Amino acid sequence: MSKRKLATVWLDGCSGCHMSLLDLDERLIELSEQFELVYSPIVDHKIFPEGVDVALVEGSVSSVEDEHKIHMIRKRTKTLVSLGDCAVTGNVPSMRNSFSVDSIFKRVYEENALQPQIPSDGVPKLLSRVRPVHEIVPVDVFVPGCPPSADTIYHLLRELLAGRTPNLAGTTHFGA
């Protein structure tokens, strides 16, 4: 049987959810027998391919670039997983939602900078509000936790391999 195509995506998050994925340790070797990692910040593939079976999405949708990316990912993915509280609720990145983008830029790049300068080149345009992934595209599985534990991610991937869609709402930990 051919391997399932797995992608992991890093939107507006701290990478802690990816650290949890790496905490699977030797279980990554076991999973690699059934999953092929086709896109991820931890590998060198630059293009999100067509026909992805499972995409684990870390982080909220905070910029125009994130919004464009999550629409493209949704179109190319069978099972889209919101991985971690930033993807599920907006979490830490959404703390900026009480403020305007202009006031945040002023605070960060003018009032708190030694050399005040609002960046423009190469900086993704921020959306006026940070939003969880499901407010932009349909999500198939929600995995709360900040970050979700490695055991939870392992359980999720084993269930998906078995053809089941786990309901992880309200849980952050499985196993020992």
Is residue 91 near ligand SF4 by the rule CB under 6 A? yes
Q: What CA–CA distance (Å, rounded) separates 103 from 107?
A: 6
Please identify the residue of the shown chain whose CB is closest to the bound ligand SF4: 16
- For ligand SF4, the closer of residues 4 and 9 by Cβ is 9
Which residue lies nearer to ligand SF4 by CB, 4 or 156? 156
> For residues 172 and 150, what is the distance between their CA atoms, to the nearest angstrom?
10
Single residue of 4, 21, 85, 174 touching ligand SF4 by CB under 6 A: 85
Give the C-alpha separation, 160 to 137, whole Å: 20
For residue 25, which amino acid is it?
D
Q: What is the DSSP letter of 41?
A: T
- Site stretch for ligand SF4 (CB under 6 A), options 8-16, 33-41, 126-134, 155-163: 8-16
Nearby residues of 71 by Cβ (< 8 Å), 6 or more positions away:
136, 137
Contact positions toward ligand SF4, by CB under 6 A? 13-14, 16-17, 58-59, 84-86, 91-92, 146-147
